[in-house]
Amino acid sequence: MPSEQSFDVKLEIGHVLFIDIVGYSQLLITQQSEQIDTLRKIVRGTAQFEAAEAEGKLLRLPTGDGGALVFRNNPEAPVLCALEISKELKNHPELHVRMGIHSGPVNEVLDLNEQSNIAGAGINMAQRVMDCGDAGHILLSKHVAEDLEHYPRWRPYLHSLGECEVKHGARIDVVNLHNHEVGNPKPPKKLLAIQHRRARTRWGAIVTALLLLSAIVAAFIIISKKSARSILAVPEKSIAVLPFENLSDDKSNAYFAEGIQDQILTKLAGIADLKVISRTSTAKYQSKPEDLKSVSQQLGVANVVEGTVQRATDTVRINVQLIDARSDSHLWAKTYDRDIKDVFAVESEVSQEIAAFKQSCRLTRRTLSPLPQQRTRRLTIFS
């Protein structure tokens, strides 16, 4: 019989490795038994498992499709154990396993059968970290990664993934552990889905701001008049919008740049007496071409709009330039640095600038050219 003291909650810090077989519920019963048996042998055969068990510093929690190992001897133990498991899994391609690691409070409890069990925030967090991954992933909580990064040997393994949304809308920072031999270097599908969903919900706000921004360019081109004779025999009221360059590290954000070009083209195409070159004709050119005069002559336009888009986490920078392609001189330029959540703030600012341009458009085109220090206004977000 257990003593009364065994019911007392005694918290301690446990270093938890949570393991799960991906797609377990879709397997046949015989396949489930085979894969669980194989996984159990792999785990029990690791040096970290044997050492911790020999010292009496290991707790085990079966979960049906995997389990949790709580190491009480060394914070590196679950990470080393995960690496051993990952290497051995290469010999079992039929076994798809993901793992999550966290260090936190745990305590031993008795279940309804009066069998020893494990509970605590450390167990729960390790499972949530694991749930963010796919087959082959070894994910760490930010807390564990911060402890490991103090040791040079672990730094090449650590790759931050950012926030992952888990149960009840909570968000946790996760880090991917991998190199060329172990782990899964691909971003988890759950994180990609979250990023795409956020991008779709906020894209409408960015498009609104960019439409207003394109109105400035369109108004300036229509109202202004160039007094000097044109270098090239092209219409004065003609313009081409070159593809915007995506400067983001994540190349999947290229649709931001494409969307900006499309919206500006759509706005300019609705202006009477303005020759606008189609996107098909400008597709072969890149933003900031080396020979802008040749591009102008090939497209038959006097003015060119070019720009860049850069997104880092929840921040976006949009840079737009209006250039007289015949003389390769800047007519107008502006850079917006914004938190993507506050992109609606651009709308008010752009509206004020439109009004200012309407008044200044009474002057000659040369007078309208902005001073260099007025072209851009940069924050320190990307510096």
Q: How confident is the model at residue 230 (pLDDT cuts 50, 70, 90)?
A: very low
Q: For 230, phi and psi rounded to 5 degrees?
A: -65, 135
pLDDT average, residue stretch 167-173:
84
Instruction: Report if residue 201 sits inside a domain.
Output: yes
Instruction: Report if residue 278 sits inside a domain.
Output: yes
Residues 276 and 322 in one domain: yes
Q: What is the CATH number of the domain that holds 273?
A: 3.40.50.10610
Q: How confident is the model at residue 224 (pLDDT cuts 50, 70, 90)?
A: low
Instruction: Report if residue 276 sits inside a domain.
Output: yes
pLDDT average, residue stretch 145-162:
94
Residues 229 and 142 in one domain: no
Instruction: Give the per-residue pLDDT at 81.
Output: 96
Strands 303-312 and 245-246: parallel
Instruction: Give the per-residue pLDDT at 265.
Output: 75
Strand runs labelled E in the chain: 12-21, 58-62, 66-71, 97-110, 116-119, 138-141, 158-165, 171-177, 238-241, 245-246, 275-276, 303-312, 315-324, 329-339
CA distance 167 to 145: 22
Number of structural domains in the chain: 2
Q: Which residues of 162-179 are buried (b: 16+ CB within 10 A; e: fewer)?
A: ebbbbeeeeebbbbbbbe
Mean pLDDT of the chain: 78
Residue 290 has pLDDT above 70, yes or no: yes
Q: How confident is the model at residue 364 (pLDDT cuts 50, 70, 90)?
A: very low
Residue 29 has pLDDT above 70, yes or no: yes
From 129, 153, 187, the end of a domain falls on: 187
Instruction: Report if residue 3 sits inside a domain.
Output: no
Q: How confident is the model at residue 1 (pLDDT cuts 50, 70, 90)?
A: very low
Residues 365 and 216 in one domain: yes
Residues 137 and 251 in one domain: no
Q: What is the CATH number of the domain that holds 144?
A: 3.30.70.1230
H/E run at residue 124: helix 121-131
CA distance 141 to 122: 11
Residues 177 and 199 in one domain: no
Q: How confident is the model at residue 298 (pLDDT cuts 50, 70, 90)?
A: confident
Domain assignment of residue 273, given as a range: 194-375
pLDDT average, residue stretch 310-331:
79
90-147 residue pLDDT tens: 999 999 999 999 999 988 776 665 566 678 888 999 999 999 999 999 999 999 999 9
Instruction: Report if residue 13 sits inside a domain.
Output: yes
pTM: 0.52
Residues 99 and 139 in one domain: yes
Q: How confident is the model at residue 377 (pLDDT cuts 50, 70, 90)?
A: very low
Instruction: Give the per-residue pLDDT at 111.
Output: 61
Residues 28 and 152 in one domain: yes
Residue 84 has pLDDT above 90, yes or no: yes
Residues 312 and 165 in one domain: no
